[in-house]
Chains A and B, each alone.
Chain A
Amino acid sequence: MTVGTAKHRELGLTDSEYDLICEKLECEPNAVELAMFSLLWSEHCAYKHSRKLLRRLPTEGERVVMGPGENAGAVDVGSGYAVAFKVESHNHPSAVEPFQGAATGVGGILRDVFALGARPIAILDSLRFGELDSERARFLLDGAVRGIGHYGNSIGVATVGGEIYFEAPYEHNCLVNAMCVGIAKQEAMVRAAAAGVGNAVVLMGASTGRDGIGGASVLASAELGDGDEAKRPTVQIGDPFEESKVLECCLELLEKGLLVSLQDLGAAGLTSSASEMASAGGVGIDLDVARVPLREADMEPFEIMVSESQERMLGVVEPAKVGEVLAICEKWQTGSAEIGVVTDSGQVRVLRGGEVVGEMPVEALVDGCPLYDLDPAEPEGWIYGNRTTLDAGASAEETLLALLGSPSVASKRWAFEQYDSVVGSRTARRPESADAAVLAIPEAGNAIAVSIDGNGRRVACDPYAGTIEAVLECAQNLACTGAEPLGLTNCLNFGNPEKPVPAWQLDRAVSGLADACEALGVPVVGGNVSLYNEGPEGPIYPTPVVGMVGELPDPNATAPSAFAREGDTIALVGPFAPALAGSELAKLRGELEMGLPQPDVAAVTAACAAIRAAVRAGTLASAHDVSDGGLAVALTESAIGSGFGCQVDLSPLLDRGASPEEALFGEGLGGFVVSGERAALESLAADTVEVSILGEVGNESIEIASGDSVVTVSLAEATRAWSSLSVAIEPAG
C-alpha cells in the first residue's frame, strides 16, 4: 500500500516502516503525523538497532534512585540527597559545525539533569578527533573546545574533567560526548511521566524557531558524507544565558512543588518530549501549536512540532498552579505558555486553534517502531589501517618522549584551561591533579569522584575486552581518589549497525559492558547510543564512553596523581600484565592488529579495593593508574606533576614474565603507581593484591631500569614533550 511518494524515505523511514505506520493509524499519515513518526521512529529516538542489546545491561542496585528511561539516572549519596548524571553524544552536529554542535551538546545534557530537579554541578567531556596533523581535526578540536567552554562557563557549571583522543578513524566523524552531574534533594525530584487528566502542559524557556529541524533523523541517524554542508541548518544554536534563566526558573518551580513532572526538549523537540511524557504516564496529550511562542510567525504545524530550538522545557502543572508558574517564569525573564492539556485519550493530538492537524496513538509513536536484530560478522582482521610515526629502531629514551608527546597522551592543559573548573566551590580535585575529578557534597557531608573513559582503539582490537577495560579504567581512576563506584552512564558511539562489522563491534561491546558492570556490582543508570558514525573511509573506532560516579567520605582525603615528597618509596600495585597489543606504542609503530589480553576482572577489582582503602586511610602520598603509554609514562606523569624525578627498577615485572619493552611501554589493566612510606606500601600486599617496590622519588631526572638498560630523561625534557599539545595546535602561540 506504499504510495508513490518517497517523502517517508527522505525522512529516513523504510517502506515497511511506512506501511506499519499506515496500519497503526488505519490511514496514511498527513504531513504532521509523518514528520512526528519519522523522528520518533528514528534510530536516535527509538534505539531500533540497539534496544534489544541494551536489555543485557544490569540496571538495578540498592543505591539507584532513578534508572534508564528517565531524563538522567540518579544514585543515592546519603542524607536524603541524590546525584543525577548522564552522558550524551552530539557527534554529527559537531562534525558539521563544531562550536554550536558542542555547545548545544552541553546545553542538552544540562537540561536532562535539571529536568530531574537536580542542580548541575559538573560537566565532563569525551572528545575524539582525527590525527592532530590534520587541519580538519584541529578546526573541529578548536571549535568543540570553544563551544564547550562557551556554554559551560557562561552558565556557571564547572567543567572538571574529560579526555581527548586523536585517531585517524575519527577524521571525518568526530565524537563529542558530554556528561553532566547534578545534585538533588530526593524529595524534590520529579519524573518525566505526565499525570493527572486535566492538568495543564506548559512550555517554558526559549521561543520556537526553524532551527534543528530534522536533527534527530536526517543528521543523527544517518552516515555523514558528501553534502554535509547542506545539513548545517539542522544544527541548533545555543544560548547559555537563556538556559541559565530556565535552569534557575525550573529549580525554583520544583523547590516550591509547583510541577507534576518536567521534561526537556531535545532531539525531536515537542514531538518527543510530549509523546514520551504521555507514554511514561499512560495518558494522552493535546497540544495547540497556535499557543507556542514562535520566532517566525508563519511556521507550519509540523515545523513547530519537530523544531529542535534549544533551551526549552515542558512541564505538567495542576490548573490551580498555572498562574504561579507563569509568574515565576516572568520573574526569571523566560518565556512560558500553556500549550496543552493531559487527557485520558491515549492519543497525542496536535491542534491549531480548534482544528485537529494530527492525531496518533501514543503507543504507536513511542513503542510501535519495530526493533531490529543485528546481523553481526567478525572482521577478517584489522580494518583500520596503520600509520608509522615512530621508527622501530628508536631508542627507549626517544620512545618515551614520543609517547609523552603523542597528542592522545600529552597533557590536555590547553583544553581544560579554557573551562571554568572551579565555579560552585566544590572542586576538590581539578583536572590533571588526580585520576578522577573530586567534588565536595557538603549537603550530604561527603564527596563524589567522577571519571569518563573509553579508548576506542583498544575496543577496536577486541570490542569485548576493550569495553571491559573502559569500565575498569574508570573504576581504577575512582579508586585513586578513594571513591567507591555507585553507578555508571555510557554513550555507545559506533558505526552503521546495518553493516556486519559495526554490528559485531556493538554486540560484543555491549556484552563486555554488561559483564564488567555485573562483576563490579555497578548498575547502568542511563545512557545514550550514537550509531551511523562513519566517514567515506569507513566506521569510527567502536567507542563506548563510560562515565562513572563514586562516593568517598571526605573530599580532603584523596590522593594526588603526582608524587608528593622526595625520598618516598614508589611501588606498583595490582595484577598489571603489560602487553604491546593495542598500545599507544603499537599505534606509533604502525603495528596495530586484532586482539587484546583478556582482563582478570576479579583481580583488578581486588586491587581497586586495596587502593581505595589505602587512600581513605591516608597511607598513600600519591596514586595514579597505569594507562595509555604504559608504566614508563605513568611514572613520568607522576614525576612531572611533582617536580621531582624518580629512580626505579622494573625487574619485578620482568620476573612476572614481561619483556623489558613490555615492562616500560606495555599497556593493560590493573596497574597503580603509588608512593609513600615503604612500610605502608608493603602493608598493602594481600593474598589477592600484588605489591612490587620499584624505587624512590627524587633528583631531577627520571631513571627507569628495565632489563639491561636504563632509560634516563631529564624532568625538563619530559615536561617539554608532555606539554607539546598547545604548540602543536597553535604553533605561533
Chain B
Amino acid sequence: MLWGVIQFPGSCDERDALHACSLVGEARLIWHEENDLGGVDAVVVPGGFSYGDYLRAGAIARFSPAMEAVAEHAAAGRPVLGICNGFQVLCEANLLPGALLRNENLRFVCRQLDLLDAAGETLSIPAKHGEGRYYAPQATLDELEANGQVAYRYAPGQNPNGSLRDVAGVTNAAGNVLGLMPHPEHAVDSMTGSTDGLRVFERMAAVAA
C-alpha cells in the first residue's frame, strides 16, 4: 500500500505523517504543485499552517493543483485522510461537511486527550490547534449521526475547543474521506506517549483494500 502525503508551503506535520504512514505501508511526499498523485493508494492532507492560514485556515490550500487531484481521488472512492489543517482544507474543499471555527476560548490548545470511535473504543491522541471547533447546522449534525459519519468524538469532559456534539472527526457519506482535528500521526510510538493513532491509519488502509 502506497501513501502520499501532500506538502504545502507552511505544512508542519508532513514528515510526522510520512513516518506514521511508513509504519503501515510505503509513503512519499507530494508537492502541492503536482496535479498527478503518482498512483498512490491513499492520500494524507497533513497538519500545519498551509499558506500561513492567513485568509482562513485551509482556504488557500484547497486551490492548489494537488488538491484538484485529491478531489478526483476522493470521488473515485479512494481513501483520503485530513489531519488538523488537512481536515480544515477538506472542509474548505467541500470534500467533508461542516467547518472548523476558532476554539471557544480563543486560545491554541495542545493536549493529550481521549477520543471515542464509533464503536466506543478509546484512543489516546494529542490535539493541537487554534481553530478546531467543529461546526455544522443542527440538521447536518443529525444527518451525520444518522449516517454514521461521526467517526470520532472527544471523550466526555475532554472537548478542548467547544466542538458541537463533541465531534472530533467526520467522514463523507461514502466513508472514504476522513478528517479529524487530533493528530494520529503523533500517537504511533510509545516513546512519545501512545500508539493508538496507528488505528486511524489502519482504518484508512482498510478503505483502500
Residues of chain A at the chain B interface (Cβ within 8 Å): 146, 149-150, 153-156, 239-242, 244-245, 248, 332-333, 416-428, 430, 440, 555-556, 733
Contact = CB atoms under 8 A, between A and B. Distances in A.
Chain B interface size range: 20 to 34
B138 interface: no
Contacts of B13: 156, 423
A27 B128 CA distance: 58
Contact of A733 (B47, B105, B109, B190): B105
B110 A421 contact: yes
A440 B189 CA distance: 12
Given A154-B10, A418-B110, A425-B16, A241 B54 contact: yes
Given A422-B110, A424-B15, A425-B16, 7 more contacts: A149-B108, A154-B10, A154-B53, A244-B52, A416-B110, A428-B191, A440-B191
Given A555-B191, A733-B105, A422 B186 contact: yes
A115 B136 CA distance: 45
Given A424-B16, A425-B19, A418 B109 contact: yes
A157 to B, nearest CB: 8
Contacts of B73: none
Given A422-B110, A422-B183, A240 B128 contact: no
Interface of B: 9-13, 15-16, 19, 47-49, 51-54, 105, 107-111, 126, 128, 130, 183, 185-186, 188-193
Contacts of A440: 191-192
A3 to B, nearest CB: 47
Nearest to A242: B52
Contact of B16 (A146, A241, A244, A423): A423
Describe B's contact surface by its main secondary structure: mixed
A530 B5 CA distance: 43
Contact of B126 (A155, A240, A422, A424): A422
A240 B188 CA distance: 28
A153 B9 contact: no
A427 B107 CA distance: 22
A424 B13 CA distance: 7
A418 B108 contact: yes
16 contacts: A153-B108, A156-B12, A156-B13, A240-B49, A241-B9, A241-B53, A244-B49, A417-B110, A423-B16, A424-B15, A425-B15, A425-B16, A425-B186, A426-B192, A428-B192, A733-B105
Contacts of A240: 49, 52
Contact of A427 (B47, B108, B192): B192
Given A154-B49, A156-B48, A425-B186, A241 B10 contact: yes
Contacts of B105: 733
A241 B13 CA distance: 14
A430 B189 CA distance: 14
A244 B183 CA distance: 20
Contacts of B186: 422-423, 425
A248 B11 CA distance: 11
B195 to A, nearest CB: 12
Residue with the greatest number of chain B CB neighbours at <10 A, chosen from A149, A153, A416: A153
Contacts of A428: 191-192
Given A418-B108, A427-B192, A241 B52 contact: yes
A241 B51 contact: yes
Closest 9 CB pairs of A and B: A156-B12, A241-B52, A154-B49, A425-B16, A420-B128, A422-B186, A418-B108, A149-B108, A241-B10
Contacts of B111: 417
Contacts of A333: 9
A146 B122 CA distance: 31
Contacts of A555: 191
A424 B128 CA distance: 13
Contacts of B130: 153
Given A153-B108, A417-B110, A422-B186, A244 B9 contact: yes
Nearest to B51: A241
Nearest to A438: B191
B189 A155 contact: no
A312 to B, nearest CB: 17
A248 B15 CA distance: 13
Contacts of A430: 193
Contacts of B54: 241
Contacts of A332: 9
A153 B16 CA distance: 15
B87 to A, nearest CB: 16
A106 B37 CA distance: 36
B128 A423 contact: yes
A212 B42 CA distance: 46
